């Protein structure tokens, strides 16, 4: 008779227990399972994370020579200031009459010896004839016209236009036209240039047709888009904007200089076509109708530089850079 206090190991016990090496294998598998559970969310998250977008510089570095264009010498102005050269590309497609009149004034050396008259903070720098209000002292216009039809907008049909899909406050559609920030209205069939930083306009009086291009300004502050379609926008500064944006602010009303000694003299203004080739600024502008430019816009819309934590997802027309570079040698 069996003693109840004695324990008996079943005959199958030794066969049911895994041998030592099997127990080690099970332990290893258990550890691997735990590690998988621990790191799977991280691995899955990394797989789901969006690919890092290239920076603007990386987009430019990957561009092709055909993505760039050289400004036409007949449509490019060199304004020589004591601090250096300002290069302006005329917007002939939007303001052909003003561009032609400016060319006439330049070839007559109208601007030579004139001055920067006004620098209003966060708005514009303006230049022209200090004696323009006094007919007896004003520079003669010669063959140039003293007033022109208003070129505030033009027909959008046939105009190169690369739309920006982010929307706009001031226009039904905005985008870029051959290197210039522009807007258009499909209902009216009209297009116009936008007053972004660096854009150049022709001053006028209260009458729509009172501008001539003899008095010009450049936007040096937050884009004053309320000026769109109220003034002829004739081009943009493509190099040397700092020579106009960093000037002392005017002390008079609307930023006008009150004393002649405050005004910055203009040494000369020339068309690039009239300057010897060796003395020209060899510049290239990124074409705004290319895949490279589209990639550049996207790189700025959702910046993935190391510093940025939250991509904007949107971009404003006037915040899109319009790259200009020295021609590669």
**CATH number belonging to domain 73-281:** 2.40.100.10
Domain ranges across the chain? 52-70+283-329, 73-281
Query: What is the chain's pLDDT, residue by residue, as a tens digit (329 residues)?
Result: 444 444 444 444 444 445 566 665 656 566 565 555 555 554 444 445 456 778 999 999 999 999 999 999 999 999 999 999 999 999 999 999 999 999 999 999 999 999 999 999 999 999 999 999 888 889 999 999 999 999 999 999 999 999 999 999 999 999 999 999 999 999 999 999 999 999 999 999 999 999 999 999 999 999 999 999 999 999 999 999 999 999 999 999 999 999 999 999 999 999 999 999 999 999 999 999 999 999 999 999 999 888 999 989 999 999 999 999 999 88
Interior angle at CA 63, CA 277 and CA 175, nearest 5: 90
Query: Per residue in 153-182, is it b (16+ CB within 10 Å) or e — as a string?
Result: bbebeeeebbebebebeebebbbbbbbbbb
Q: How far apart are CA 70 and CA 87, in angstroms?
A: 13
Q: How far apart are CA 175 and CA 316, in angstroms?
A: 10
Cβ atoms of residues 191 and 156 within 8 Å: yes
Q: How far apart are CA 278 and CA 164, in angstroms?
A: 38
Q: How far apart are CA 86 and CA 70, in angstroms?
A: 16
Cβ atoms of residues 99 and 75 within 8 Å: yes
Q: How far apart are CA 50 and CA 242, in angstroms?
A: 37
Coil vs helix vs strand at 254: helix
Residues 6 or more apart from 149 whose CB is under 8 A from it? 97, 209
């Amino acid at each position: 008779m069996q003693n109840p206090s004695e324990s008996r190991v079943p005959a199958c016990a030794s066969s049911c227990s895994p041998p030592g090496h099997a127990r080690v294998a099970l332990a290893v598998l258990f550890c691997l399972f735990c590690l998988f559970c621990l790191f799977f969310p991280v691995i899955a998250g990394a797989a789901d994370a969006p690919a890092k977008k290239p920076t603007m510089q990386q987009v430019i570095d990957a561009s092709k020579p055909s993505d760039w264009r050289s400004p036409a010498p007949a449509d490019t102005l060199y304004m020589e200031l004591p601090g250096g050269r300002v290069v302006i590309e005329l917007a002939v497609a939007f303001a052909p009459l003003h561009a032609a009149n400016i060319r006439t004034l330049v070839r007559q050396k109208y601007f030579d010896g004139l001055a920067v008259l006004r620098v209003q903070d966060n708005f514009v720098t303006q230049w022209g004839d200090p004696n323009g209000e006094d007919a007896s002292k004003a520079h003669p216009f010669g063959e140039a016209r003293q007033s022109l039809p208003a070129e505030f907008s033009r027909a959008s049909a046939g105009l190169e236009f690369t739309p920006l899909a982010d929307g706009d406050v001031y226009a039904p559609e905005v985008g870029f036209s051959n290197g210039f920030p522009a807007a258009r209205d499909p209902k009216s069939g009209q297009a116009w240039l936008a007053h972004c930083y660096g854009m150049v306009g022709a001053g006028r009086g209260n009458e729509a047709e009172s501008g001539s291009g003899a008095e010009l300004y450049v936007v040096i502050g937050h884009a004053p888009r309320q000026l769109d379609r109220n003034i002829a926008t004739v081009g943009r500064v493509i190099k040397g904007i700092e020579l106009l944006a960093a000037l002392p602010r005017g002390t008079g009303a609307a930023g006008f200089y009150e004393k002649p000694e405050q005004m910055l003299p203009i040494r000369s203004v020339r068309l690039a076509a009239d300057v010897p080739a060796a003395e020209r600024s060899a510049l290239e502008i990124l074409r705004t109708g290319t895949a490279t430019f589209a990639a550049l816009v996207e790189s700025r819309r959702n910046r993935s530089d190391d510093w940025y934590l939250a991509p904007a997802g949107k971009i404003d027309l006037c915040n899109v850079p319009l790259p200009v570079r020295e021609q590669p040698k």
